[in-house]
Structure 1
């Protein structure tokens, strides 16, 4: 598929065929492409938790939801056969920029007006979303509620320094997938968001 077509087709898929697992070679390509994302200082401060078995996925949903009756969104999302949780590691960036070739001798977080550890991990996530489209699958990036992060870390033994920037669900789109009502707002045009020369 041409790159422009991949970008045009990219959308968030919120329902999956539970009977069609993601082939292992496709899963591996998602991850191989993710680690090709740019990172400040080539710090590569990311990690990816892959959840494929029904038991692993159930533990994820139990840890990250309130345990009440699932609504339609959650019911459909729980059908995804593959979940990948991209996590950022701030310390990898602070350590890297304290190395001699970067000129800083401290690990002062104030030097970072933008948390590039999260930005770079987000870019890795986008590469997974685009790869899923190129492979004929659907994917969705969604957040983990902040009040559920402690439970997530405990259930999966994630070290404290690693912060999930979200979760990427992947699979073959299901029959219940439909366009988000948010899309009724329409896509903002170039003329609305691009400022040339000055604001």
Structure 2
């Protein structure tokens, strides 16, 4: 599929066919392309935790959704839809990988202080890995959804999966074959036009390029 077509087709999927697992060779391509995103200093501080076994996915939802393991818990429509995904890819970033890399001789930042990074590039780069996974999913005929992990659930997730304390949990990409459903509220929101998004020379001055007309 051409890149332009992939970009046009990319949507967040909120319901998956639980009876159609992602073929291993397809999942391998998604993961391989996710790791090929740029990273500052080529620090490569992204880890991907793959959950395809039902027991692993159940542990994920039990750790991230309060009350999920309680008897009588009834999931709402959103949770029923997203938890039907047969594959979850947890996105982890490592600040230490960047602090180590930038303390090397060719960078020379020996302070190793994360506070000196006004933008946490370990999270930015892991976000790029997430986008590559989302785009590859479209190219492979899959549906995909990026969702976050509430901060108050990080400890529970770390305990459930043995994730080291120095890793940040940026979110999870749910993968599978999409089940069509009517678009939700977010899907009905219009995309901002290029004339609003792009500023020409000074913030607030609309770009007057040909695509903006």
Q: Which residue number corresponds to residue 196 of structure 2?
A: 192
Equivalents in 2 of 1:29, 1:76: separation in Å?
Answer: 24
Does the 8 A contact of 2:95 with 2:114 survive in 1? no
Equivalents in 2 of 1:171, 1:192: separation in Å?
Answer: 34
What per-residue deviation string (whole Å, max 9, x for no partner) do you get for residues 131-175 of structure 1? 000000000000011111110000001000111101000000024
Count of residues in Structure 1 that have an aligned counterpart in Structure 2: 198
Q: Which residue number corresponds to residue 149 of structure 2?
A: 144
Deviation at 1:185, TM superposition (A): 2.4
Give the secondary structure class of the aligned counterpart of 1:102: coil
Give the secondary structure class of the aligned counterpart of 2:168: strand
Q: Which residue number corresponds to residue 130 of structure 1?
A: 135
What per-residue deviation string (whole Å, max 9, x for no partner) do you get for residues 45-87 of structure 1? 0100000011110000000001242110001111100000010
Deviation at 1:183, TM superposition (A): 2.7
Q: What TM-score, normalized by structure 1, do the two folds share?
A: 0.97
For the pair shown, the structure with the greater C-alpha radius of gyration is: 2
Structure 2: stretches of 5+ with no match in the other structure: 68-72, 204-213
Equivalents in 2 of 1:198, 1:152: separation in Å?
Answer: 44
Deviating above 4 A after TM superposition, structure 1's stretches of 4 or more consecutive aligned residues are none
Equivalents in 1 of 2:38, 2:164: separation in Å?
Answer: 23
Give the secondary structure class of the aligned counterpart of 2:106: helix
Q: Which residue number corresponds to residue 180 of structure 1?
A: 184
What per-residue deviation string (whole Å, max 9, x for no partner) do you get for residues 109-151 of structure 1? 2321100000000000000000000000000000011111110
Higher relative contact order (CA 8 A, sep 6+): 1
Q: What TM-score, normalized by structure 2, do the two folds share?
A: 0.91
Q: Which residue number corresponds to residue 109 of structure 1?
A: 114
